[in-house]
Amino acid sequence: MSVPRLRFAPSPTGYLHVGGARTALFNWLYARKNGGVFLLRIEDTDKARSTEESTRAIFEGLTWLGLDWDEAVVYQGANLERHQADADRMLANGTAYRCFCTPAELEERRRDAEARKESFKYDRRCDRLPREEVERRVRAGEPHVLRFRVPDGTTEWDDLVHERIAFPNKDIEDFVILRSDRTPIYNMAVVSDDIAMGITLVMRGDDHISNTPKQIMLYRALGSELPKFAHLPMIHGTDGKKLSKRHGATAVGDYQHQGILPGAMLNFLALLGWSPGGDREVMTLDEMIALFSEDGLQKKAAVFDPKKLEWMNGQHLSRTPAAELAPRVTPLLVAAGYATEATLDSRRDWYYALLDLLKVRARTTDDIVRQAAPYFVDDISYDPDAVAKQWKDAAATRDVLHATRERLSKTEWNAAAMEESLRQLAEERGIAGGKIFQPLRVALTGLAVSPGIFDVLLMLGREKSLRRIEAAERRLTTK
RNA sequence: GGCGGUAUCGUCUAGGGGACUAGGACGGAGCCCUCUCAAGGCUCAAACACGGGUUCGAAUCCCGUUACCGCUACCA
């Protein structure tokens, strides 16, 4: 068997959409799993809507996700001459013909049909024009398009996702393949390019199912071997409609900026329309490659659930070693003004330990940054709710904090010793440990939520910890 | 309207004739653990769209209905 060749072919008219990313992922997984080749083609033939910025966004999105392509990027717009040559070849071999009907005329006939409640289909009138008239009008420079002459019969194929899909050809009109300005129509350009690129498996969204019979006919008219087809289900928003801006973030870049890890995004996307079978859910990219099979592809559209994405991200965050996490979190800490790359580098062990503490209780890298503040800034800000709840009785709290500081200042700075010391204090005072730990947490972090209190003490260090408790005492005095 | 596609908990899904009292996960409710929050463990609520067949037996196969989605351009 020859090497499978697949492609992802987005049009650069926006950002990399999660649906597009999912299509790219499945193509990529199939290629990686089966020793195939994954290609990228930018479908920039619609000059009015295509932008360079969008093209860049697609590259950036795919790169961030880690979906690398194997050969030079193909720009559809650069292949105009071949598209025209292929269309002309069909004119020459009799599978296409010239049509002089103007858009205005067609529009009028369409409206008439609609008024009569009939479905409009091109009536092939130009295919019945006498040869001499066609030649005369061509010589006269009359604008015309090239239409494909749809043969009788049925066009069908065995889809890798669905089973057999069949279209009666009588329902397909003689569609345009080359406009009057000699630019190709979508289906023409796609088939010409897919043939030129040697694509053996076309895997795309199932909104293309009705394009497929047309494309199959073009392959045949051009005398080319058919690729296999796989039509993936759509991704919908929570209201069951096609995912769009109304549903919030739809660009993969949005999720990148929300602190989602590429591995989690990929894992989540993979499960939208594919299942490895059984209960398997959290997977690395390598595991997905190993498990990937077209048998697990789903036919039904899937709803994009941001909640599950966040959970998935939390799972990946917890499993990612600090050393791997650091490159993603460091820029965020720097941007937040908490540290410089150099200072983090000089305290690498401490930094990694902190990441290990924070990652398990975070769902996004942004969560990590939010929780990291107390370990970097000098003047922590006190969360009003935390203060209200844990420092209710100012005098008593001050007293407890003072005693705590006394103890800690005389205690060896390790978790076991500090815990023993503070538990002893609690016992002496006849209170629960929490009655000490909770106010202490607020004093140290300003927050009601943090890693275990002794981890916090350790991360902060003796000096900083004692200073913060003292500051808290002062604050409680003035109150 | 025509053509095509799809149909299991709210959501992602397992399931491919008997192992189904329909399993897992997210989300929800509760409990445990516990210095808080996560994580983890346990429990609960929650689904085979409907109607006909086929079969000893149907979530699973067939047909119809319904609903939803897509396409129906000199857009991609």
Write down which residues 124-153 in A have CB closer than 7 A to strand B: 143-145
A245 belongs to the catalytic site? yes
Per-residue flag: A278 CB under 7 A of strand B: yes
Which amino acid makes up residue A299?
Answer: K
Which amino acid makes up residue A460?
Answer: L
Which entry of A47, A121, A170, A245 is annotated as an active-site residue? A245
Q: Which residue has the tokens 């408790």?
A: A469
- pLDDT band for A468, please (50, 70, 90 cuts): very high
Supply the DSSP symbol for A141: T
Give dist(CA A454, CA A416) in Å, integer: 8
Give dist(CA A146, CA A124) in Å, integer: 12
Edge-to-edge strand order for the sheet containing A37-42? A5-8, A37-42, A74-75
Q: Which residue has the tokens 């959970």?
A: A311
State residue A479's pLDDT score: 52
- Of A92-106, A233-247, A291-305, A342-356, least confident by mean pLDDT is A233-247
Q: Distance from residue A158 (CA) to nucleotide B52 (C1'), in Å? A: 29
- Of A129-143, A325-339, A386-400, least confident by mean pLDDT is A386-400
Q: Distance from residue A165 (CA) to nucleotide B65 (C1'), in Å? A: 22
Tell me the C-alpha to C-alpha distance, in Å, between residue A84 and each of A146, A184, A186, A303: 10, 7, 12, 40
| pLDDT above 90 for A216 | yes
- pLDDT band for A124, please (50, 70, 90 cuts): very high
In contact, A204 and A232? CB cutoff 8 Å: yes
In contact, A144 and A100? CB cutoff 8 Å: yes
Per-residue flag: A104 CB under 7 A of strand B: no
- Of A247-251, A359-363, A436-440, least confident by mean pLDDT is A247-251
Give dist(CA A475, CA A478) in Å, integer: 6
Give dist(CA A307, CA A300) in Å, integer: 20
| Burial label, A335 (beta-carbon count in 10 A; 0-12, 13-18, 19+) | exposed
State residue A49's pLDDT score: 85
| pLDDT above 70 for A161 | yes
Give dist(CA A399, CA A402) in Å, integer: 5
Its sign, for the CA torsion A328, A333, A335, A340, is negative
Q: Distance from residue A277 (CA) to nucleotide B54 (C1'), in Å? A: 29
- Neighbouring CB atoms inside 10 A of A419's CB total 17
- pLDDT band for A457, please (50, 70, 90 cuts): very high
Give dist(CA A446, CA A453) in Å, integer: 13
Residue nearest to nucleotide B4 (CA to C1'): A210
| pLDDT above 80 for A31 | yes
State residue A199's pLDDT score: 97
State residue A91's pLDDT score: 97
Give dist(CA A237, CA A248) in Å, integer: 9
| pLDDT above 70 for A27 | yes
Judged by C1' against the alpha carbon of A312, the nearest nucleotide is B26
Task: Tell me the whole-structure pTM to 2 decimals.
Answer: 0.93
- Average pLDDT, rounded, for chain A: 94
Gyration radius of chain A's alpha carbons = 32
Give dist(CA A28, CA A38) in Å, integer: 6
Write down which residues 320-339 in A have CB closer than 7 A to strand B: none
Instruction: Residue A354: name the closest of A458, A430, A234 by CA.
Output: A458
For strand B, which nucleotides have at least one atom less than 7 Å from a protein CB?
1-8, 10-16, 23-27, 35-40, 68-76
Q: Which percentage of chain A shows pLDDT scores above 90?
A: 88
Q: Which percentage of chain A shows pLDDT scores above 70?
A: 99
- Of A61-75, A95-109, A191-205, A236-250, least confident by mean pLDDT is A236-250
A273: left (phi over 0), alpha (psi -120 to 50) or beta: left
Widest CA span of chain A, in angstroms?
A: 111
Helix, coil or strand: residue A400: helix
Give dist(CA A393, CA A453) in Å, integer: 21
What are the beta bridge partners of residue A302? A235
- pLDDT band for A1, please (50, 70, 90 cuts): low
Tell me the C-alpha to C-alpha distance, in Å, between residue A130 and each of A105, A115, A279, A333: 20, 31, 66, 75
